[in-house]
Structure 1
Amino acid sequence: MMDQAAEVVRSGSMSLCQTSKRYNIPKTTLHDRVKNKFSSSKIGLKTMLTPIDETQLEQWALHMSRIGYGRARKELAHVVMQIIAEDGRKTLKVDGCFFARHPSLNLRTTVQLGKERSVIMDASRSILTLCAKQESAIDPSIVYLAKNFAMQYDDV
């Protein structure tokens, strides 16, 4: 929006004051942008992946999370290094700002199984045992998903 407002002033279709009021941008900021006082380049290291690569990596990580295979930060860093190595690019380290640029990738940590969850697990185990005794058909995908979430059972 800032670049668009600066272009309007440069073209002469509106004055600096009018453009400042219309786009709700301070006059001094708009003036600096029109006169190219400050460059529009970003400060810091350049990203190792292209924006398209980063978007694809983000979508892949979200997809893996949805199907129950969430990836850790180190795994994503390893995938990035593989992509860079395949392209033949050289790098010194993995960019730590990837997660800041993609807030949809929420960092989660594992939590120990609490007493209340183990009680629920005991109840669900007894329900499954009852269903097996009644020769009810159990959907195999339920067992598969339970295995993927690595549920812990207390044999107390």
Structure 2
Amino acid sequence: MTAELHADRPDPRWLDTDEQRAWRAYIDGNHRLMDRLNRDLQEAHGLSLAEYRILVLLSEAPDGALRMSDLADGVLSSRSRLTHQIRRMEAASMVVRSSCLEDGRGVLATLTDEGRRRLTEAAPTHVAGVRRNLVDLLTRTQIRTLSEIFTKVEAAVDDRCG
């Protein structure tokens, strides 16, 4: 990027040492945590963290079903990426897809008995990993602070994107 191309943009507010340390610790820690949780599920249950998240959201939905568009929003995924994921999960008998009865245009993803069984088996592994690699490392105050921080981040990003 050359200065001429971005002459209309103000200089960025560069991160100071503490901000840079916090940002990098978050990026590295988050990446390692998600990788560890994904690996635990893969090794013990043949499920990815993305599949686990989909199963959780479907299990919490009325009738175990969600419109694909709502599911994509819930798992923070593009619709095309989710479609591929659901197709693989459907081949593994964890979900079924059907037309939405309300308008006939939407597609529903519905949790199957096999999907519920896989979720039930994997949940203790996932929770143990979350505890071992995050929750049990923090104090109650740090847990509340973490929740407040990411609630604030989510709201700010949603406001800017929505």
What TM-score, normalized by structure 1, do the two folds share?
0.24
Higher relative contact order at CA 8 Å, sep ≥6: structure 1 or structure 2? 2
Q: In proportion to residue count, which structure has more helix?
A: 2
Larger Rg, first or second structure (1 or 2)? 1
